[in-house]
Amino acid sequence: MTNLDNRLYIVATPIGNLQDFSYRGVEILRSVDWIAAEDTRRARLLLQHYGIQNKLVSVHDHNEEFKAPELIKKLVSGMSGALISDAGTPLISDPGLPLVRLAKEAGIKVSPIPGACALIAALSVSGVAVSRFSFEGFLGRTAASRRAFFTEKSADTQTWIFYESSHRILACLKDLAASLPDNRKIAVAREMTKIYETVLYAPVAEVLRLVEDNENMRKGEFVVIVEGCTLKKVSEVSAEQLRVLTILLKTQTVKGAVALAVEITEGSKKLLYREALRIMKEQRE
């Protein structure tokens, strides 16, 4: 057993396959003075699997505001502690932020013990671009809130990811399909690292159909990954934009005409300016 100083360890636990737990994670949980867990019943199953006998403390959304200060007192007194979630990396759509903040304010060192994370695992096998992405956690429970969010995100050029539960996944995908172009590709990852792990990657309309047609695809825990919007490269000025620009140039300076044409037609300033110079040159010749 390792002798630990009075620090708080943020320990990632398996998201399905218990063999994904790191040696260091197991050793830390064996060695700390207490383990804070969101659900002590689920945590106990994990600890029993690895033969870890340690004091479990329940810390969840409904008690962490008053439970966290109690645990900080233990750390200040010289004890060591660990925070785990039901599965995966703590604080990623899970409780624990008040505890971490109070520890830092008290001068307690907070150390990560990295490991499984459902969103990163799903992203790595999704087939979707991963250079830039945003994580949105769990979405609203109502169709209206989801559709408003999807409409807002539909023009986002980077990948975006969210979690969804089994009893809302179908309704969620229907709202998503209603808010995005049919050819926008998404990935739906289900039951990551478990026996029935499934990852779909296809246009949103096709993914919706596959989930509708297969009841098993509506069971488990889900990570939904949406490809960013691809902006069309504008290389030409349309006939309407050219018409507006030509009229404006009769009464405006080149700079003024271009500015107004951009505002009226939502065209490219660079391209409209180029056309304005061409028109003025032809008029002088």
- Reported as a single tens digit per residue, the pLDDT across 163-173 is 999 999 999 99
pLDDT at 282 over 90: no
72-128: pLDDT as tens digits: 999 999 999 999 999 999 999 888 999 999 999 999 999 999 999 999 999 999 999
pLDDT at 285 over 70: no
- Rounded to whole angstroms, the Cα distance separating 235 from 250 reads 25
Q: Could you give the C-alpha distances from 176 to 29, 180, 187, 225, 229, in angstroms and in order?
A: 41, 6, 12, 11, 14
Residue 134 DSSP label: E
- Sheet arrangement for strand 159-164: 133-138, 159-164, 222-226, 185-190, 198-203
Q: Average pLDDT, stretch 234-257?
A: 88
0.85 cut: is pTM over it?
no
- Rounded to whole angstroms, the Cα distance separating 105 from 69 reads 11
CA neighbor of 191 nearest in space, from 86, 118, 136, 85: 118
| Sign of the four-CA dihedral 27, 77, 56, 113 | negative
Q: Could you give the C-alpha distances from 95 to 18, 76, 89, 137, in angstroms and in order?
A: 22, 21, 11, 12
**Token pair for 135:** 């994580």
Residue 7: the pLDDT is 96
Residue 232: the pLDDT is 57
- Rounded to whole angstroms, the Cα distance separating 247 from 23 reads 73
- Rounded to whole angstroms, the Cα distance separating 174 from 102 reads 41
- Rounded to whole angstroms, the Cα distance separating 97 from 245 reads 55
Residue 236: the pLDDT is 80
Residue 230: the pLDDT is 81
**Residue 107, Cα to own-chain centre: how many angstroms?**
30
**Beta-strand runs (E) in the chain:** 8-11, 34-37, 56-58, 81-84, 110-113, 133-138, 159-164, 185-190, 198-203, 222-226
188-244: pLDDT as tens digits: 999 999 999 999 999 999 999 999 999 999 999 999 999 998 865 556 888 899 999
In this structure, of 4-13, 65-74, 273-282, the range with the lowest mean pLDDT score is 273-282
- Tokens 């040159």 appear where? 281
Q: Average pLDDT, stretch 156-161?
A: 94
